[in-house]
A and B are shown apart, each in its own frame.
Chain A
Amino acid sequence: MSILELNDVHAYYGKIHALKGVSLTVEKGEIVSLIGGNGAGKTTTLRTICALMRPTVGSVTFNGENLERYKPSALTAKGIAMVPEGRGVFARMTVLENLEMGAFHRKDKEIGDDIDRIYELFPRLKERRTQLAGTMSGGEQQMLAMGRAMMSRPSLLLLDEPSMGLAPVLVEAIFSTIVDINKQGTTVLLVEQNALMALNIADRGYVLQTGAIALSDSAKALQQNEMVQKVYLGIE
């Protein structure tokens, strides 16, 4: 059974038909990349998975269970976490408070241990733990958003353009962290415009064009694909 399955998902913003029958699957343990240009519907796809939007047609199933009967706020406890586009850190809360918000639904005693683990992953966050998140750099905010998402102990992590606006060195660091997180057992669905990096770390990939899946293959095959090379990798 796939951990995530989208079946012919259609989604609208008012009259704008943003997703026109998206179907994709993510298997447990994979890193799957969803690449596509501006306005292709990548963010909308992730929002539909998190139930921030509901599909008008089609279904989203998580571990074989249709998500339509769950409140969006219940999905965190089920094991879905998202790092939203633009990071979405709580600017007027401290770094530590942001991390605690990630564990909002949890009642166990291991939250403190998990915070320590996040600090190991991103030592910078530990230095800045009492700083307001809004005053941190873009890279630090990206680390915080990822750390916060991990605080919910997700089985599926959705990342919306984590490399956006970051210096190349930082992008490398973020992507290697994604690989680490995946190795520790979290399945990853990665949305990226940086197709080169995304396909490098992914097992499989989907190409989204104007609200529909145009291509789907193993990451290696997609890197060799002529259309992908031309449009997304900038190889002539």
Chain B
Amino acid sequence: MTLTQRLRGIDWISAALWVFRAVIIILVIVGTVRKLFLGVGTQYTTQDWLDFISSGLSQGGLYALIALGYTMVYGVLFMINFAHGEFFMSGALTSTMLVASTLSRSGFMNEQPIIYLVIVTVAAVLTSMAVALLTERVAYRPLRRAPRLVPLITAIGASFFWQYFFRGLFGSEIKPFPVPAILEGWITIAGITFLKVRFVTLVASLIALILLYLFIMKTKTGKAIRAVAEDKDVATLMGIDVDRTIAMTFAVGAGMAGIAAILWALVFRQAHFYMGFVPGIKAFTAAVLGGIGSIPGAALGGLFLGLIEAVGPPLFLEGLGIPAAHQLKDVTAFTLLVLILIFRPQGIIGERLAEKKA
């Protein structure tokens, strides 16, 4: 074979992608080495690194909880529900305005902090579920047989609708979320010091993830959801009401978002009508990262995203000499989304986004 023949045989796009991939890996390695061994940028103590890791994982747990909603709905409908971030927001905001602020003003919050947390969480979960069920019934179900782009655009519309609905209802200012005194301060476990809220967030989201997994794998409803995700006609033949099961899927995903909403509000101490946007996109990134449609994938994708967001900037971005790298959290996350979509649309363990059939 002559050289020109050989050159003609190369697919230039994939070659360019390989080069791109190599450059990114080299940048990450160079940045990491410069940071750890050559002492470029701020020097962090071991405690600092543990802080990055623990806050990253706890943030990742939140992404994971929200990501479940994307992945489960995609599983049954092959649709990216862009209004999912608004399900999250509606729970946080409504619970803050109608429940949390009242209970904190009356003093109940610090008398019965555990009961307070349960009540605000239940309120958020119920609100998120109600908003999700309404959206599914009114906006998505009539479009079940429409081309796939149609529900996607409707979802974006629904997202705007809910943002402005809740802005109209509760106003556009940022609302403080009252945090019980027992969650203030730090806690030391096995020699590692955590912010208490961060610790609670991580533990609560891990428990919720495990319970959801058991629900999907073991319960009758969970099996119905899996059956509908595989084949709606055959599920119908088994006597499964597909419409009800799809609604159930929305409700469960939104319930998880409602739990995440309260944990998020505890960490950031605030709620507002716009708060669903960034978590929504981050969680979508997490779902794609883990392979959209896969439940364990969403969990792992969320934790991984939280971790890389927290550790990546101080590690390889600072190592590359980029100033104020800690402000580049979101850039890290979205760069990761773009990279995954280019190189590995099937995610870490899931199926290929583009090839999965409707």
Contact A73 B233 (CB under 8 A): no
A78 CB, nearest partner CB in chain B, Å: 10
Does any Cβ of B come within 8 Å of A211's Cβ? Answer: no
Interface centre among B220, B237, B241 (most CB of A within 10 A): B237
The B-contacting residues of A in range 58-94, CB under 8 angstroms, are 71-77, 81-82, 84, 88, 90-93
A134 CB, nearest partner CB in chain B, Å: 9
Contact B226 A90 (CB under 8 A): yes
Contact B236 A101 (CB under 8 A): no
Inside 8 A of B239's CB, which chain A residues have their CB? 73-77, 104-105, 152
Contact A73 B223 (CB under 8 A): no
Q: Evaluate whether A76 and B238 lie within 8 angstroms (CB atoms) in the complex, with A90-B226, A90-B227 already known.
A: yes
Type the 1/0 row for A138-150, where 1 means its CB is closer than 8 Å to any CB of B: 0000000000100
Does any Cβ of B come within 8 Å of A198's Cβ? Answer: no
Q: Count A-B contacts at CB 8 Å.
A: 59
A141 CB, nearest partner CB in chain B, Å: 12
Q: Evaluate whether A101 and B233 lie within 8 angstroms (CB atoms) in the complex, with A76-B239, A77-B239 already known.
A: no
Contact partner of B237 among A76, A92, A93, A97, CB < 8 A?
A76
A162 CB, nearest partner CB in chain B, Å: 15
A52 CB, nearest partner CB in chain B, Å: 5
Q: Sort chain B's interface into a size bin.
A: 10 to 19
Contact B224 A73 (CB under 8 A): no
Contact A93 B233 (CB under 8 A): no
Give A207 to B224 CA distance when docked, in angstroms: 37
Inside 8 A of A90's CB, which chain B residues have their CB? 226-227, 230-231, 234
Inside 8 A of A8's CB, which chain B residues have their CB? none
B146 CB, nearest partner CB in chain A, Å: 14
Give A97 to B226 CA distance when docked, in angstroms: 11
The B-contacting residues of A in range 157-207, CB under 8 angstroms, are none
Contact B236 A72 (CB under 8 A): yes
A79 CB, nearest partner CB in chain B, Å: 11
Does any Cβ of B come within 8 Å of A118's Cβ? Answer: no
Inside 8 A of B236's CB, which chain A residues have their CB? 50, 52, 72-73
Q: Evaluate whether A93 and B238 lie within 8 angstroms (CB atoms) in the complex, with A52-B233, A84-B233, A104-B220 already known.
A: no
Give A76 to B236 CA distance when docked, in angstroms: 9
Inside 8 A of B223's CB, which chain A residues have their CB? 93, 97, 100-101, 104
The A-contacting residues of B in range 220-271, CB under 8 angstroms, are 220, 223-224, 226-227, 230-231, 233-242
B292 CB, nearest partner CB in chain A, Å: 15
Give A105 to B239 CA distance when docked, in angstroms: 6
Does any Cβ of B come within 8 Å of A36's Cβ? Answer: no
Inside 8 A of A75's CB, which chain B residues have their CB? 239
Contact A73 B242 (CB under 8 A): yes
Give A195 to B275 CA distance when docked, in angstroms: 64
Inside 8 A of A55's CB, which chain B residues have their CB? none
- Nearest chain-B residue to A87 (Cβ)? B234
Interface centre among A81, A101, A105 (most CB of B within 10 A): A101
A77 CB, nearest partner CB in chain B, Å: 6
Inside 8 A of A88's CB, which chain B residues have their CB? 231, 233-234, 237
Does any Cβ of B come within 8 Å of A41's Cβ? Answer: no
A3 CB, nearest partner CB in chain B, Å: 18
A192 CB, nearest partner CB in chain B, Å: 19
Q: Evaluate whether A50 and B237 lie within 8 angstroms (CB atoms) in the complex, with A93-B223, A93-B227, A104-B220 already known.
A: yes
- Nearest chain-A residue to B233 (Cβ)? A52
Give A84 to B282 CA distance when docked, in angstroms: 40
Query: What are 28 A-B pairs at a CB distance below 8 A?
Result: A50-B237, A72-B236, A72-B237, A73-B236, A73-B240, A73-B242, A75-B239, A77-B239, A81-B237, A84-B234, A84-B237, A88-B231, A88-B237, A90-B226, A90-B227, A93-B226, A93-B227, A93-B230, A100-B223, A101-B238, A101-B240, A102-B238, A104-B224, A104-B238, A104-B239, A104-B240, A148-B238, A152-B238
Besides A72-B236, A76-B237, A91-B230, 8 more A-B contacts (Cβ < 8 Å) are A52-B236, A73-B239, A73-B240, A73-B242, A84-B237, A88-B231, A93-B223, A105-B238
